[in-house]
């Protein structure tokens, strides 16, 4: 990690512990990779709303409705920012919605897996990252 990057450790599922770890700090950018209950990402974004200039949430291409993804305007699955359970796409979408509540201009990164070649013995793949400002 670069020396000017602050890394904090806390049980982010516990709001009091997370708030204590954050203290009164402020940040240029937050990068969030949470993939569990959306309520946890939502709460973190709420705690950071007045203290971070930019928020980037690493979501997933799985938030697009299966079989319909063409570009960033493709339909997405349903999700709830307050959700606690669900399948992976709904959890990621719910977290997106929670982050957008506190950071309307958050960067939502929706990486996907592009399989370029498949045969009986070899699978070659290339990871792609699609990013866009939240709308």
- How confident is the model over 85-128, as pLDDT tens digits? 999 999 999 999 999 999 999 999 999 865 444 444 444 333 33
Residue 10 located in a structural domain: no
pLDDT of the residue at 78: 97
Instruction: Give the separation between CA 81 and CA 100, rounded to whole angstroms.
Output: 9
DSSP string, 31-78: EE---S-HHHHHHHHHHHTTTEEEEEEE--GGGBPTT--SSTTS-B--
Residue 99 lies in a domain: yes
Indicate whether 2 belongs to any domain. no
Contact 51, 26 (CB under 8 A): yes
Is there a domain that residue 54 lies in?
yes
Residue 133 confidence (pLDDT) above 60: no
Domain that includes residue 43, residue range: 15-133
Let me know if residue 5 belongs to a domain: no
Give the pLDDT confidence of 3-57 residue by residue, as tens digits.
Answer: 888 788 888 899 999 999 999 989 889 999 999 999 999 999 999 999 999 999 9
Question: How many domains are there within the chain?
Answer: 1
Residue at 109 is within a domain: yes
Nearest residue to 106 via CA among 135, 134, 76: 134
């Amino acid at each position: 990690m670069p020396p000017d990057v602050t890394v904090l450790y806390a049980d982010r599922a516990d709001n009091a512990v997370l708030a204590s770890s954050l203290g009164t700090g402020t940040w240029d950018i937050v990068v969030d990779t949470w993939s569990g209950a959306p309520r946890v990402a939502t709460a973190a974004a709420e705690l950071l709303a007045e203290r971070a200039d930019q928020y980037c949430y690493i979501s997933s291409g799985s938030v697009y409705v299966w079989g319909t993804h063409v570009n960033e305007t493709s339909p997405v699955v349903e999700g709830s920012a307050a959700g606690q359970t669900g399948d992976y796409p709904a959890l990621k979408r719910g977290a997106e919605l929670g982050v957008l509540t506190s950071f309307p201009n958050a960067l939502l990164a929706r990486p996907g897996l592009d399989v370029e070649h498949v045969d009986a013995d070899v699978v070659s793949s290339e990871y792609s990252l699609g990013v866009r400002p939240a709308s």
